[in-house]
Amino acid sequence: MCGIVGAVAQRNVVPILIEGLRRLEYRGYDSAGIAILNAGMERVRSVGRVSDLEARAREMHAIAPTGIAHTRWATHGGVSEKNAHPHFSSRDGVEVSVVHNGIIENHEALRARLLGAGYRFVSDTDTEVIAHLLHSHVASGLKLFEAMQRTVRELDGAYAIAAIRVGEPHTVVGSRRGSPLLLGVGESNPEGCENFLASDTSALLQVTRRVAYLEDGDVVRIGTDGYSIVDAEGKPARRPIVESQLSAESIDLGRYEHYMQKEIFEQPGAIANTLEMVTNASSVSAGLFGAEADEIFARTKHILILACGTSYHAGLVAKYWLEAIAGIPVSVEIASEYRYRDSVALPKTLVVTVSQSGETADTLAALQHATTLGLRDSLSICNVPESALVRQSRLRFLTRAGPEIGVASTKAFTTQLTVLFVLALVLARQRRRLAPSREQELLAQLRHLPAAMNHVLACEDAVRHWANRFAPKQHALFLGRGVHFPIAQEGALKLKEISYIHAEAYAAGELKHGPLALVDRDMPVVVVAPNDALIEKLKSNLHEVRARGGELFVFADRDTLIEPSDGINIINLGDHAGLLSPILHVVPLQLLAYHVALVRGTDVDKPRNLANSVTVE
Ligand code: F6R
């Protein structure tokens, strides 16, 4: 969701800005633009792909040592060139240009004030108020760095901003609150140095690995003479420079057609990496979650899981595990609901946030809300080590899935599940609910999980065959029971987000309480049907569907009790994986969504209207 790149160097930064935007494409966007600074300022914007922007920049021979760039995911104002960033404010010989991620909540009040001061608005965005506000401070005689400090004091909401102005060459300033922004420290030589700003490290890997994560409220100035940072109080601040471990290869597509396909097939490796510290040990220990974990887990009486989307589904699965294995009551809440709900905070609650990006605005706000209610024990299960969520949590377990670039989350989900399962084991062990022999048995199953998943991935051809039959449909139902109900929910989410087929998931026992009315011969029904304790119950539900003419597409285990027949299609995945079964059963659902989307010709990695990292509310 929206991406920022800023660059100052003693060479042409246009290729650096464009390449940075290309590497941020995965976050989701609908328009893009750059502004460059020589003696004057120039801008090029386009609706659509970064490649279109690049072509336009080439046509106008854009060359400059300083610039800012942006991919926009529309929030305020439709998708159009006039709403694309950068936004300009130009009056009385002062010209500034601004890019922004996030939402300015008091933009209406600021707009009214700025209109009164004679500023003219040409876009429908909230960002334009930042441009005019910054302009007003520069016009009053402040340098760009001071003007930005003054500007952000007047903004309510979430933002990451970068700006340039005519008359201050080799200077970009930025600020962040609630939206990510980092500083990239580039090469230096006797003539000077180059420095960068970006929404995430991947945008800068082409020029530097040395990055500093800005804190909420920081304002930064980068130039060819170095950089400086002040904190929210305006005091000089130092932020540690770290060497990013992200490898350029991990964001290459390699032999795959799409990132989603690559990421589905990376799952066995991602799980093995995530489990490295667990499977090499002879038993699970609280220390895996951080130094304070033993003490915090010992006092935990209740768990509250907060997350959005796919990560929320991981939380729903975890509830079954945590209650069954560790005997701890668990609530799972959609972060965007919890943050605004009057809820009762139970003492001794461990708040667990689950997030791929660690920057999801609702999940961050939900964690902060829980803290204000007095719930201070927090654990983040997250894929991005330097993310805000990880930094704001007392305990953490990093999923080592590597960058997830496809918008539809896949390997992040299965690695989150893996960690949540380990959490259940750790808590069970601490509460003496896990006999050593059972612990060894479950650890052995975890060690086998990557191999078992490779086996499941071999069903791709059979799934591809099914996909051709799904592609013409407008609707689909997904059924599951028990711990596999959230897996059915995840399967439905995957199908709708990338193939645009309307899909709903139901706990199979709920069918006869309403949704059965939808079932006819045009309604494909996907069933998650492992050989677990509920299989006989599920079979009865399948009869209910067949009796109404619905066609069943069943993902079952090797020795399934469900017989294939007319209207009952079955793919056997392998041996039943016991408690770990949900981690395997989601894989064919990911493959189904992927192949249906391919047949329907949608933009698999960048589905319409969606973004990878949801940094606004
Ligand atoms: C779906 C998907 C989203 C995310 C959700 C939360 O495929 O990717 O539903 O799961 O936006 O994002 P994170 O996990 O980054 O907090």
Q: How far is the CA of 585 from the centre of ligand 1 (A)?
A: 19
Q: How far is the CA of 409 from the centre of ligand 1 (A)?
A: 6
pLDDT tens by residue, 445-480 = 999 999 999 999 999 999 999 999 999 999 999 999
- 3-state class of 46 per DSSP? strand
Which residues, in sequence order, are bridge partners of residue 72?
31
Residue 252 banded pLDDT, cuts 50, 70, 90: confident
Q: How far is the CA of 312 from the centre of ligand 1 (A)?
A: 8
Q: Which pairs with CB-CB distance under 8 Å and at least 24 residues apart come from 137-143?
A: 138/94, 138/96, 138/165, 139/91, 139/92, 139/94, 143/168
Token duo for residue 122: 């040409």
Tell me the residue ranges of DSSP E strands in 248-362: 302-307, 330-334, 349-355
Q: How far is the CA of 333 from the centre of ligand 1 (A)?
A: 14
Burial of 96 (0-12, 13-18, 19+ CB in 10 A): buried
In this structure, the residues whose C-beta lies within 6 A of any atom of ligand 1 are 308-311, 355-357, 360, 363, 408-409, 493, 497, 614
Q: Which amino acid residue places its CA nearest to atom 5 of ligand 1?
A: 309
Q: How far is the CA of 398 from the centre of ligand 1 (A)?
A: 16
The tokens 């059972």 sit on which residue?
438
- Dist CA 186 CA 426 (whole Å): 43
Q: Which pairs with CB-CB distance under 8 Å and at least 24 residues apart come from 233-241?
A: 234/149, 239/183, 239/212, 239/213, 239/214, 239/215, 240/212, 241/185, 241/210, 241/211, 241/212
In this predicted structure, which of 9-13, 242-246, 306-310, 469-473 has the lowest mean pLDDT? 242-246
564, 570 Cβ separation under 8 angstroms: yes
Residue 249 is predicted with a pLDDT of 64
Q: Which amino acid residue places its CA nearest to atom 7 of ligand 1?
A: 408
**Residue 579's closest CA among 366, 323, 343, 330?**
323
From the alpha carbon of 310, which atom of ligand 1 is closest?
Answer: 10
Query: 461 to each of 71, 456, 565, 601, how far by Cα in Å?
Result: 36, 11, 20, 18
N-to-C CA span, the chain = 11
Token duo for residue 588: 């064919």
Q: How far is the CA of 31 from the centre of ligand 1 (A)?
A: 22
Q: How far is the CA of 26 from the centre of ligand 1 (A)?
A: 13
Residue 455 is predicted with a pLDDT of 95
Q: How far is the CA of 399 from the centre of ligand 1 (A)?
A: 14
- Dist CA 462 CA 244 (whole Å): 40
From the alpha carbon of 494, which atom of ligand 1 is closest?
Answer: 7
Residues recorded for the chain: 617
Q: How far is the CA of 601 from the centre of ligand 1 (A)?
A: 23
124, 78 Cβ separation under 8 angstroms: yes
- Dist CA 342 CA 346 (whole Å): 13
Residue 403 pLDDT > 90? no
Burial of 86 (0-12, 13-18, 19+ CB in 10 A): buried
Residue 1 pLDDT > 70? no
Residue 277 is predicted with a pLDDT of 80
Burial of 439 (0-12, 13-18, 19+ CB in 10 A): middle
DSSP letters of 526-575?
EEEE-SSTTHHHHHHHHHHHHHTTPEEEEEE-TT-SPPPBTTEEEEE-SS
Which of 316, 383, 614 best tests ligand 1's pocket when mutated (most atoms within 8 Å of CB)? 614
From the alpha carbon of 312, which atom of ligand 1 is closest?
Answer: 10
From the alpha carbon of 404, which atom of ligand 1 is closest?
Answer: 8
154, 118 Cβ separation under 8 angstroms: no
Q: For 387, phi and psi rounded to 5 degrees?
A: -70, 165
Which of 27, 356, 411, 493 best tests ligand 1's pocket when mutated (most atoms within 8 Å of CB)? 356
The tokens 């400059």 sit on which residue?
64
pLDDT tens by residue, 9-33 = 999 999 999 999 998 887 778 899 9
- 3-state class of 125 per DSSP? coil
177, 219 Cβ separation under 8 angstroms: no
Burial of 282 (0-12, 13-18, 19+ CB in 10 A): exposed
- Dist CA 362 CA 369 (whole Å): 10
Tell me the residue ranges of DSSP E strands in 53-191: 66-72, 87-91, 94-104, 157-165, 171-177, 182-189
Q: Which amino acid residue places its CA nearest to atom 8 of ligand 1?
A: 409
Burial of 391 (0-12, 13-18, 19+ CB in 10 A): middle
pLDDT, mean over the chain: 93
Once rounded to an integer, what is the mean pLDDT over residues 239-263? Answer: 84
399, 416 Cβ separation under 8 angstroms: yes
Amino acid at site 235:
K
Handedness of CA 578, 579, 582, 587 (dihedral sign): negative
Residue 281 pLDDT > 80? no
- What per-residue string of b and e applies to 555-581 under the rule 16 or more CB within 10 Å gives b? bbbeebebeeeeebbbbbbbebbebbb
Q: Which amino acid residue places its CA nearest to atom 10 of ligand 1?
A: 310
Q: Which amino acid residue places its CA nearest to atom 16 of ligand 1?
A: 355
Residue 370 is predicted with a pLDDT of 98
159, 100 Cβ separation under 8 angstroms: yes
Q: How far is the CA of 308 from the centre of ligand 1 (A)?
A: 6
Residue 613 pLDDT > 80? no
Once rounded to an integer, what is the mean pLDDT over residues 110-114? Answer: 96
Which of 360, 409, 616 best tests ligand 1's pocket when mutated (most atoms within 8 Å of CB)? 409
From the alpha carbon of 614, which atom of ligand 1 is closest?
Answer: 11
Residue 615 is predicted with a pLDDT of 66
Q: Which amino acid residue places its CA nearest to atom 9 of ligand 1?
A: 309
Q: How far is the CA of 535 from the centre of ligand 1 (A)?
A: 30
In this predicted structure, which of 132-141, 400-409, 415-424 has the lowest mean pLDDT? 400-409
